[in-house]
Amino acid sequence: MGILVRIVVNAIALWAAARFVPNISFPAAEHFPSDDWWKLAVVALTFGLINAYLKPIIRALSFPVRVMTLGLIGLVINAALFLLLAAVSDTFNLGLKIGGFPPTLDVAALVAAFLGALVISIVSTILSLVIHD
């Protein structure tokens, strides 16, 4: 049951990022409800898998940098993982685009990824506090 709750929380957080952050486009979230609701669920599941398996490894490897930056590198790591999610989404034609990424990684994509990761973190933290497993 906890996994299903995490997928729903991720889906709501991704929906919020797609709706409120400029330069993030995700048709399944922008025109919700639609026939592409399953794309939102697949991207939310993929995001959960990325956070469950890759994020702990990256956090452990970046520990010295996290200490030096007082944890602010965590925001950059979240943005990078969000860009990875967009790349995976593009591979499977799910429709998530951050700025021009993929295929073009530019300043607009980096800023949008940073803001999107921030919105996702805030929304999922709030929802996790409200919804108890």
DSSP, res 7:
H
Strand partners, 24: 98
Amino acid at position 33, single letter: P
Q: How big is the chain, counted in residues?
A: 133
The pair of three-digit structure tokens given for residue 89, joined into one six-digit string? 């989404």
Q: Are 63 and 74 in contact (CB under 8 A)?
A: no
Q: How many domains does the chain have?
A: 1
| Model pLDDT for residues 18-62, shown as the tens digit of each residue | 999 999 998 877 776 767 888 988 999 999 999 999 999 999 999
| Residues 26, 19: Cα–Cα separation, whole Å | 9
| Model pLDDT for residues 79-92, shown as the tens digit of each residue | 999 999 999 999 99
Domain range holding 58? 2-130
What is the structure's pLDDT at 91? 94
Q: C-alpha dihedral over 128, 129, 131, 133, to 10 degrees?
A: 70
Q: Is 0.85 surpassed by the pTM of this model?
A: yes
